[in-house]
């Protein structure tokens, strides 16, 4: 039993130390660095970025309009907390689109933005929501504002971490699948004894 616990602890440590800690936190830090430069140039507060390995959150299918097609934005902006949630496989368009929502919320006032957004989500398909139209337009403006350093950060800091997480995730997933097969084997052997 001790060997099994050791393997479980090893897998948990691997997840914490090689997926959650350095690479995910590095992606968050690098993304925040890109947004910090934009925030400073616009004289607004910088949002917090949280990266996840969970399946991509798509801002247009979370509510009533689950079946509609929309631009793939693999993240979500939470205006009440000034948090941008991103999937670790972030691209620059997604990061800037979500930041555009942040800028709009600050300009409009967060409470008013939240009310308008919720009403839009109930009434309109994604592509006709005014907050989305503003975010799409503002994303193009933000691309023009980006300094070459932002692209370097994305290409030299974020993209390598995406690859690193993919590799480590596959390795850990292989070990977890092995553990699951062992448990299934033990359960099936116990059933046959009874």
pLDDT tens string 114-151: 999 999 989 998 889 999 999 999 999 999 999 999 99
Q: Does residue 59 fall inside a structural domain?
A: yes
Question: Would residue 160 count as lying in a domain?
Answer: yes
Q: Are 169 and 53 in contact (CB under 8 A)?
A: yes
Any idea which residue has 């939470």 for tokens? 78
Residue 172 confidence (pLDDT): 74
Total tally of structural domains belonging to the chain:
1
Of the candidates 154, 190, 194, 165, the residue with the CA atom closest to the CA atom of residue 14: 165
Inside any domain, residue 42: yes
**Does residue 86 lie within any of the structural domains?**
yes
Kindly provide the b/e burial profile for residues 76-111, where b requires at least 16 CB atoms within 10 angstroms of the residue's own CB: bbbbeebebbbbbbbbbbbbbbbbbbbbbbbebeee
Long-range contacts of 180-183 (CB under 8 A, 24+ apart): 182/4
Question: φ, ψ for residue 109 (rounded to 5)?
Answer: 95, 130
Residue 187 is assigned to a structural domain of this protein: no
Helix (H, G, I), strand (E, B) or coil at 47: coil
| Model pLDDT, residue 101 | 97
Kindly state whether residue 50 falls inside one of the protein's structural domains.
yes
pLDDT tens by residue, 99-109? 999 999 999 99
- The per-residue pLDDT of the chain, averaged, comes to 85
Q: Which domain holds residue 100?
A: 28-171
**Which residue positions in the chain have pLDDT lower than 70?**
1-4, 7, 11, 14-20, 56-72, 190-194
């Amino acid at each position: 039993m001790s060997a099994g616990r050791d393997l479980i602890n090893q897998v948990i440590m691997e997840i914490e130390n090689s997926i959650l800690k350095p690479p995910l936190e590095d992606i968050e830090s690098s993304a925040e660095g890109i947004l910090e430069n934009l925030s400073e140039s616009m004289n607004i507060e910088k949002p917090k970025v949280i990266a996840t390995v969970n399946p991509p959150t798509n801002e247009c299918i979370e509510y009533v309009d689950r079946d509609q097609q929309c631009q793939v934005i693999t993240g979500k902006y939470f205006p009440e907390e000034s948090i941008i949630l991103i999937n670790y496989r972030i691209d620059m368009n997604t990061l800037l689109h979500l930041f555009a929502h942040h800028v709009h919320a600050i300009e409009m006032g967060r409470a008013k933005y939240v009310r308008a957004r919720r009403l839009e989500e109930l009434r309109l398909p994604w592509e006709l929501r005014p907050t989305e139209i503003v975010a799409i337009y503002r994303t193009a403006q933000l691309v023009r504002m980006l300094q070459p350093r932002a692209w370097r950060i994305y290409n030299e800091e974020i993209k390598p971490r995406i690859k690193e997480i993919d590799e480590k995730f596959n390795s850990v997933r292989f070990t977890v699948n092995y553990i699951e097969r062992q448990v299934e084997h033990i359960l099936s052997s116990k059933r046959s004894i009874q």
